[in-house]
Amino acid sequence: MLDSPTVLVVDFGAQYAQLIARRVRECRVYSEIIPHDTPVAEIARRRPAGIVLSGGPKSVYSPGAPDVDPKMFDLGVPVLGICYGQQLMARTLGGEVARTGSAEFGRADLEVLSPGSVLFSDQPAEQSVWMSHNDAVVQAPEGFRLTASTQASPVAGFEAPRRGLYGVQFHPEVVHSPWGTEVLKNFLYQGCALIPSWTMTSIIESTTASISQVVGSDRVVCALSGGVDSSVAAALVHRAVGDQLTCVFVDHGLLRASEAEQVEDTFRRHLEIDLIHIKAADRFLEALRGVVDPETKRKRIGETFIRVFEETARADPEDARWLVQGTLYPDVIESGSRDAARIKSHHNVGGLPDDMAFTLVEPLRNLFKDEVRRVGVELGLPEEIVWRQPFPGPGLAVRIIGEVTAERLDILRTADAIVVDEINRAGLGRAVWQAFAVLPAIHSVGIQGDERTYGYPIVVRAVSSEDAMTADWVRLPFEVLERISSRVVGTVPEINRVVYDVTSKPPGTIEWE
Ligand code: GLN
């Protein structure tokens, strides 16, 4: 990020590289992840304020294990090695790493040996830490002092503060190392002499400055979906270029109850952003007619979206050159293109015709999701948008199992709103990652008011998750389930049965489709 002192996390294939970067950021220091084969000259060019060498799955002495250029330690930039990173530092500088035969996985008792240590300053002499290793440093390099050990790791911590070099065998970035954040803070604030200055305000300032610089006086469009990312991206770009931004909200009629109104309200009335609200529900329904297969649904919705968007953008007399996208940092890391300081990127947005080449403005490409939310709050976006649950792009279309019709959408929307409302009323809104209703388009027999019915069932799904990669079903109190059930069948005449999905992910997915 422009002008912010940066700590680079060199990723050796660690399970926790992203976590390290996030923790550093939580200490209010900007941090980015770079691949381990980044040349040292490139690292030097970026003038980092500090470097963290991450953990990694290999053994430092095994053939083909990722290595570190010894010049890294002579840049005059403080370096902290964590686990594999520490082992690499030890081996490169003349210490010794070996498979000692006593691995440590999980909690370990650490003894701090050097009261004058930088990393452990103002910390208890005995603390619990989280370990995950087979190998261990058995001999620190010359000139390093031993700072900590555990039963199985004789050199669980070492440092050579005058050279700015530090290492720990344990993982300070995980919550199971209760003093871990303090260790990181000591490295950052003392070892690297940084001050905690990277705040949401500084993010907003530096991002808006670079957006206005890059975009100049050109027109910019943003396709709003109603979700967190595109909303925050739009608000941020608006802060930078004001009236040059037009938001296009393609309302496909597949949103949840009152979401479309919220988008209108927030952007047009509250933020006074130029908003084109295209009510295209009929076109989307038409495109979905007779379609049952979820992949085909997604494809049809995607195509229709592009067509509607294109018509609007073309109808605009002053051609916009820039398109805002809410790409987040994890997507950037995963796609392998780590030039994260970029504000603009590739032309030709997938699906749009060639003569409509936009250049992308991706103001969130340095940020993690929780940071995006904090930026959103700071920009004055309402809670309902900032804390909106993840929602599939094709919307309710994939929560109807079977053909999507206007009637089924109405039924699902009403039932879904009840599910959400009851969970919120029970005070469980923030505790669930996602909660929603699914409408499988089948019928079963029921009895309502002495009359035999043949109605739809509704599936209630509520899951907890950290990152959507895995999830568990929420143990909703029976009273909440009961209220949902009776309200749904009492309100929606087409529904005569309510079931609760008790499947985790894996084996299930969060969405049904
Ligand atoms: N693979 C190395 C070991 O087993 C480092 C492990 C790690 O970095 N978590 O010791």
Read off the CATH number of the domain in which 376 is found: 3.40.50.620
Q: Are residues 369 and 423 in the same domain?
A: no
How, if at all, do strands 157-160 and 444-448 pair?
unpaired
Pair (431, 380) in one structural domain: no
Is the Cβ–Cβ distance between 501 and 459 less than 8 Å? yes
Give the residue from 131, 157, 191 where a domain finishes: 191
Instruction: Tell me how many domains the chain contains.
Output: 3
Looking at every residue in the chain, the average pLDDT score rounds to 91
Q: What is the pLDDT of residues 69-103, one digit of tens each?
A: 999 999 999 999 999 999 999 999 999 999 988 88
Q: What is the pLDDT of residues 194-242, one digit of tens each?
A: 999 998 888 899 899 999 999 999 999 998 888 899 999 999 999 999 9
- Asked if 307 and 269 sit in the same domain, the reply is yes
Q: Give residue 465 CA to ligand 1 midpoint distance, Å.
A: 27
* 14, 57: one domain: yes
412-470: per-residue pLDDT in tens?
Answer: 999 999 999 999 999 998 889 999 999 999 999 988 888 888 999 999 999 998 777 77
Residue 440 lies in a domain: yes
| 199 in contact with ligand 1, CB cutoff 6 A | no
Q: For 232, phi and psi rounded to 5 degrees?
A: -65, -40
- pLDDT of 402 reads 97
Phi, psi of 448 (to 5 degrees): -135, 120
Asked, for residue 508, whether it belongs to a domain, the answer is no
Task: Tell me the whole-structure pTM to 2 decimals.
Answer: 0.77
**Looking at the structure, do residues 174 and 105 belong to the same domain, yes or no?**
yes
Beta bridge partners of 455: 444
153 CA to centre of ligand 1 in angstroms: 12
Please say whether the beta carbons of 118 and 159 come within 8 A.
Answer: yes
Residues 206 and 150 in one domain: no
Contact yes or no for 156/142 (Cβ under 8 A): no
Q: Is 286 a catalytic residue?
A: no
Residues 232 and 338 in one domain: yes
| pLDDT over 70 percentage in the chain | 94
Task: Please tell me which residue in 173, 182, 259, 362 is annotated as part of the active site.
Answer: 173
Q: Is the CB of 105 under 6 A from ligand 1?
A: no
Angle formed by the axes of helices 294-315 and 281-288, nearest 10°: 140
- Residues 47, 146: one domain? yes
Return the closest-CA partner of residue 513 out of 441, 406, 431, 427: 441
Are 187 and 204 members of one domain?
no
Count the neighbouring beta carbons within 10 Å of the beta carbon of residue 141. Answer: 20
Are β-strands 245-251 and 274-279 bridged in parallel, bridged antiparallel, or unpaired?
parallel
Residue 219 and residue 186 share a domain = no
Its domain, for residue 378, covers: 200-386
From 191, 216, 237, give the residue that closes a domain. Answer: 191
Query: Which of 27, 36, 83, 238 does the annotation list as catalytic?
Result: 83
418: left (phi over 0), alpha (psi -120 to 50) or beta: alpha
Residue 103 lies in a domain: yes
| 278 located within any domain | yes
pLDDT in tens, 2-18: 468 999 999 998 878 88
CATH number of the domain encompassing residue 433: 3.30.300.10
* Domain co-membership, 369 together with 422: no
173 flagged as catalytic: yes
Summarize the confidence of residues 321-337 as an average pLDDT.
Answer: 78
In a domain, 513, yes or no: no
Number of other residues whose CB lies within 10 A of the CB of residue 449: 5
Percent of the chain residues past pLDDT 90, beyond the cut: 71
Q: Would residue 1 count as lying in a domain?
A: no
* Cα 208 from Cα 241, distance rounded (Å): 8
Give the distance (Å) from ligand 1 centre to CA of residue 137: 11
Asked if 77 and 127 touch (Cβ cutoff 8 Å), the reply is no
Q: Give the integer Cα–Cα distance in Å for 378 and 373.
A: 9
Clarify whether residues 334 and 206 are in a common domain.
yes
- Choose which residue among 15, 132, 169 to substitute to test ligand 1 binding: the one with the highest number of ligand atoms within 8 A of its C-beta: 132
Tell whether the torsion through CA atoms of 193, 195, 196 and 197 is positive or negative.
negative
